[in-house]
A and B are shown apart, each in its own frame.
Chain A
Amino acid sequence: MNKGVKLTLISLGSLLGLVLIVVGVALWLVFTPSRLTAIVNRLSAQYIPCESRFQSVDLTLFSTYPDLGLELRDVALLNHLDGAPGDTLLYVGRLVVGIDLKAYLTKRNIIVRQLQLNDSRVNLFVDADGRANYDIFPASDDTAASTFVWPDSILLHSIAIRNLQAQWVDRLHQTEASVSGLDVTAEGALTHGKLQALLEIGCGRLAFAHGQAGSGMTVRADGVAIRLDAAGDNEAANGRLTFTLPQAQLCLAGREYCTYATASHGDLIALDAPLRFSFDNRRLMLDTASLTLDGRYRVDVDGTVELPQERQPICTDLAFSTNRWDVSGLLALLPAEYTAWRHGMSLDAVAQLDGSCKGAVADSIMPQVDVTLRLSEGYWADSRLLPGPVRGVAGTVTAQMRPAAKHAGRHTVAAQVRKLRARWQNSEVVLDAESDDLTGRVPFSAHLKAHVQSTDVALLLPDTLPVTFSGMADLDVNAHATLSQVQRQDWQHIQAQVSLALADVAVQNDSLHVSTPGITLDARLLDGGVAPALAFNIATAMLNASHGIIGLNSRRLSLSGRVCYDPSHDELLDMLQPALAVNLQEASVYTPAIQQVLRLNTLRLDYADGRCDTIDASLVCGLSDYQLSGHVDGIEDYLLRDGMLQGKLRFTSNYTDVDQLMSLFNGLGTDKDSLDAQRAEAPATADPFIVPKNVNIALNTHISNCLAFGNRLSDVAGGLTVNDGTVVLDQMGFVCKAARMQLTGVYRSPRFNHLFLGLDFHLLDIQIDELIDMIPTIDTLVPMLKSFKGNADFHLAAETYLTAGYKPKMSTMLGAAAISGKDLVVLDNETFDKISSLLMFKKKTENKIDSLDVEMTVFRNELEVFPFLLSMDKYQVCVAGRHTLDNRCNYHLELLKSPLPVRLAVDVKGSLSKPKIELGKVRYANLFKPEKQNKVQERTMEIKRQVRQSLERNVR
């Protein structure tokens, strides 16, 4: 370097230094701290209405270089107000203000570039009357509103506040707030369209209280830290906002919502938000802003928010997602009052959320929000409700909120549940559901599938319930309804379908046992109708059931139909109004009442409205088989209101044991108490068949072979009617080896010991000896039949009442009979021998009677044979008489025609086994000569005709 230049630089530097020293000395000499302090105190007294003290005011240059600084120490403003915690309104330990020296020297502009505030205290107080201690300046007369105008440039090098303690007490509004240890650092510049800013806030403790103790709100936050840095230009700025709240306490109305212990895994709240702000369209853009709670629960947000301007509301386009949240820990963050329901239970799961929020947000405007919740590893246990935990709870729940359409008036919320599953013991449940209007009618669709093990169900049953069962069940439920329909139990408008499949089922309860390899139940609610109704179908390929000694085994069984529920009725059948279709195949039933296994080959019937249409029924009981078809009416009336059960059935059988069949229906429909009372009056061994009451069933029967009262019959066909206590065999025709027969019988049981039996019996073309073999009773009634052999017609109409032991009440016996025969052979017997020897018949010769017409009546225990004519060869004999059922007789035999010139008559009296025979008076000489009959004889013949005609009237 040139020596001259060097000398010049040294001279200039020395001159500058001398100037600075002179200025410094001048400043020190002129602007001494004491002098400045006194000036400031004097000025403050003028301009600051309250008491003020400035302990020290000094100028600084080096510590605030390049700015000129003004340092104030121990500054205090005091303003006494009754009730205030103290008189000190403001205390500043040290305040330094840096002023742009160059701008001041050149342009006389005071530009503050630095502000340091250390160790300050602020006490703001408002008393109950609203007077504030900070209200130290008089009100301005200028009432015109002023408008803040951004300066052309802001150049704020730094603002630093250290250790600020502030307190605000407002007695009027019962509010207190305080901050302690507040540190604020702010740096920034906006020059020539360029922005640079940094804000850091740290607070030792922040406290806020409002309202009365115990009912108001108190907030305490410790260690709050906020940092915002930004850089940009007139159009946009990029930056990052971080916020940390390590711990806090929130108490509302005496309830703690957050305590210092709440945050156990990190900062209570932590926010880290990279952002960008566009000034033109006032749009804030977030680039994965993270909000973390307790160091564990994080929400990441991306997107944009347009701040409101003019008439435009806030607009959002945000997407958010969370990390995997531990639900149990999350619930632990909640106040105890909100999680009291968890007491006694274990609950945990992992939840993850993601979603979006798009659209405008305003008072009446909601954005479009989509949220998806993914649940996994769910666990729930509560031994009070369920033995064993529920595990593996997982699924997805999505929800969408849509703003109101132009004319809709409200926003809508829809939600879907997808594959929400849970496992308990060995059972599993899966649920899918959705609703597209959660804020309105809440219509929903749900699909529930469950696989349940019987061992799991057994765990739910009380130990005292003596039921064991095994098997498994698969349940499938579909439902469509609205919430109000469910709440109102409006079953007519709820759509629901249930399918239940049971497999390997076995149920045991005391004497009840039911088992099946599989059974399905399908049911669905029926729409509309006056009362809720259910259609169902039950089907199984095999079913075994027993209760004590009653058992049922079935192969194919299906039961379908519908039931409804009408609570306006009291009786169950009226309430349910069932309609059923039964299809049963290859079943067997055992009951002591039958004493044999009843096999149902097929049973198909339809039941509805009290009527049962038996389509096809085929049964086998022992050696008997039955096929039934037809219909039965009035079932409900019969069961519920003692109405009449009516029906018309076709009954066919290859073989029927009538006694066994009757035992099935003995006493049906009869009042048990009344029957027991009557039974008590009869011998203990008596057990008569009591005809069912309130039953009117007509059976059109055709039985190929049957066993009835010890007799074997074939081709039995006709009508059997059971009509309210009366059994009528109508026009029963059958063939036995002896004859062609027609039988109409009536049996009634009006009283236990007063049973009616009536017969209208016709045998056409009978063999008499075989008839006696078939019906031995005939021999008792008409002993002389034993004497005849050959073909005849026989008519009998008789009735009697019986005791409970089926013994006839003789005073009620009433009957009439008629026999017609031709070419009958008289058999040898002791009595006939006596007669024949008396009348000199040929001995030991088989003779034929040309014709025989006998009418007889039975009245009480007495049988009367009206005079009948036996013609044989040259002889005509008239026989008439009476005998009693104890075999005492009084018969008159009169020879009307013979080779002898005289009329002979004999009377046979006494015991039938040993009668006394003596000659008698002739009475019937003209009986069979109408032109010569007297009145008595006419009457006799009239009676004979009357008896025969009354009998033959019934022959069909």
Chain B
Amino acid sequence: MFLSAAMILPVSCRKDEPKNYDANMIVGLWQKSGSNEYWRYDSNGRGNFWDEDDDVHEGEGTHFIWSLSDDRLSLTFTGQMGQEVPRDYKILELTSSLMRLEDEYYGNETTYYKK
């Protein structure tokens, strides 16, 4: 029994290796599922998001700097007053047309479709 437990525990405790996603697949314009919220990721590591349901247009959106490390998407929202607001998300799925992100703190998942 002890040996069985010794064999199971390491297996049950083994963590999954983080996936390595291609940052180029993120570049582009994404729309949040079920809303008029848009996210644009530029190839230079910068981006912009806006919510048309809130009467915000593309040129009026919030800017951010993004980077991808394995499956961790780090966003730093830069304010016009000099403040920096970092947010990290885990990429659950990334294809040419779909991206699922997880807010690890809450465990919320959000789906984006590429435009």
B-binding residues in A (CB < 8 A): 744, 746, 750-751, 753-754, 756, 758-760, 797-799, 801, 803, 809-812, 814-816, 857-859, 864, 882, 890, 939, 943, 946-947, 950-951, 953-954
Stretch at the interface among B4-12, B20-28, B50-58: B50-58
Q: 25 A-B Cβ contacts within 8 A?
A: A746-B81, A758-B79, A758-B81, A797-B81, A798-B81, A799-B80, A809-B54, A809-B55, A811-B53, A811-B56, A812-B61, A814-B77, A815-B85, A816-B79, A816-B83, A816-B84, A816-B85, A857-B83, A857-B86, A890-B106, A946-B84, A947-B84, A950-B82, A950-B83, A953-B82
- Contact at B79–A815, with CB atoms within 8 Å? yes
B105 interface hit (Cβ, 8 Å): yes
A-binding residues in B (CB < 8 A): 37, 50-51, 53-56, 60-62, 76-77, 79-88, 105-106
- Contact at A814–B55, with CB atoms within 8 Å? no
* Residues of the B chain whose Cβ atoms lie less than 8 Å from the Cβ of A744: 81
- Contact at A756–B79, with CB atoms within 8 Å? no
- Contact at A814–B82, with CB atoms within 8 Å? no
The 9 closest A-B pairs by CB, nearest first: A797-B83, A811-B51, A816-B83, A811-B54, A857-B85, A950-B84, A758-B81, A797-B81, A809-B54
Given A811-B37, A812-B62, A816-B85, do A758 and B80 touch, yes or no (CB 8 Å)?
A: yes
Q: Tell me the bound Cα distance from A753 to B53 in angstroms.
A: 13
- Contact at A759–B81, with CB atoms within 8 Å? yes
- Closest chain A residue, CB of each to CB of B37: A811
Main secondary structure of the interface of B (DSSP, over half): mixed
* Shortest distance from the beta carbon of A946 to any chain B beta carbon, whole Å: 6
Q: Given known contacts A754-B55, A754-B56, A756-B80, what 19 new A-B pairs fall within 8 Å (CB)?
A: A760-B81, A760-B83, A797-B83, A799-B79, A799-B83, A801-B60, A810-B54, A811-B56, A812-B54, A814-B85, A815-B83, A815-B85, A816-B83, A858-B85, A859-B87, A864-B105, A882-B105, A946-B86, A951-B82
Q: Tell me the bound Cα distance from A946 to B75 in angstroms.
A: 13
The total of interchain contacts (Cβ-Cβ below 8 angstroms) comes to: 90
Main secondary structure of the interface of A (DSSP, over half): strand
* Shortest distance from the beta carbon of B40 to any chain A beta carbon, whole Å: 15
- Contact at B56–A801, with CB atoms within 8 Å? yes
Which residue of the partner chain, among A751, A801, A815, A947, contacts B86 with CB atoms under 8 Å? Answer: A947
* Residues of the A chain whose Cβ atoms lie less than 8 Å from the Cβ of B106: 882, 890
* Residues of the B chain whose Cβ atoms lie less than 8 Å from the Cβ of A756: 80
* Shortest distance from the beta carbon of A497 to any chain B beta carbon, whole Å: 59
Q: Tell me the bound Cα distance from A561 to B26 in angstroms.
A: 67
* Shortest distance from the beta carbon of A817 to any chain B beta carbon, whole Å: 9
* Residues of the A chain whose Cβ atoms lie less than 8 Å from the Cβ of B77: 814, 859
* Residues of the B chain whose Cβ atoms lie less than 8 Å from the Cβ of A759: 81
Which residue of the partner chain, among B50, B60, B61, B80, contacts A750 with CB atoms under 8 Å? Answer: B60
- Contact at B82–A890, with CB atoms within 8 Å? no
> Which of A753, A799, A890, A953 lies at the interface centre, i.e. has the most chain B CB atoms within 10 A of its CB?
A799
* Residues of the A chain whose Cβ atoms lie less than 8 Å from the Cβ of B86: 857, 943, 946-947
- Contact at A954–B82, with CB atoms within 8 Å? yes
* Residues of the B chain whose Cβ atoms lie less than 8 Å from the Cβ of A798: 79, 81, 83
Q: Tell me the bound Cα distance from A411 to B87 in angstroms.
A: 103
* Shortest distance from the beta carbon of B106 to any chain A beta carbon, whole Å: 7
* Residues of the B chain whose Cβ atoms lie less than 8 Å from the Cβ of A812: 51, 54, 56, 60-62
> Which of B56, B60, B79, B83 lies at the interface centre, i.e. has the most chain A CB atoms within 10 A of its CB?
B83
* Residues of the A chain whose Cβ atoms lie less than 8 Å from the Cβ of B37: 811
Q: Tell me the bound Cα distance from A259 to B32 in angstroms.
A: 112
Which residue of the partner chain, among A809, A811, A951, contacts B83 with CB atoms under 8 Å? Answer: A951
* Residues of the A chain whose Cβ atoms lie less than 8 Å from the Cβ of B81: 744, 746, 758-760, 797-799, 954
Q: Tell me the bound Cα distance from A864 to B87 in angstroms.
A: 10
Q: Tell me the bound Cα distance from A815 to B84 in angstroms.
A: 8
Q: Tell me the bound Cα distance from A749 to B63 in angstroms.
A: 19
> Which of A759, A811, A857, A859 lies at the interface centre, i.e. has the most chain B CB atoms within 10 A of its CB?
A811
* Residues of the B chain whose Cβ atoms lie less than 8 Å from the Cβ of A810: 54
Q: Tell me the bound Cα distance from A282 to B17 in angstroms.
A: 147
- Contact at A797–B105, with CB atoms within 8 Å? no
* Residues of the A chain whose Cβ atoms lie less than 8 Å from the Cβ of B79: 758, 797-799, 814-816
* Shortest distance from the beta carbon of A317 to any chain B beta carbon, whole Å: 99
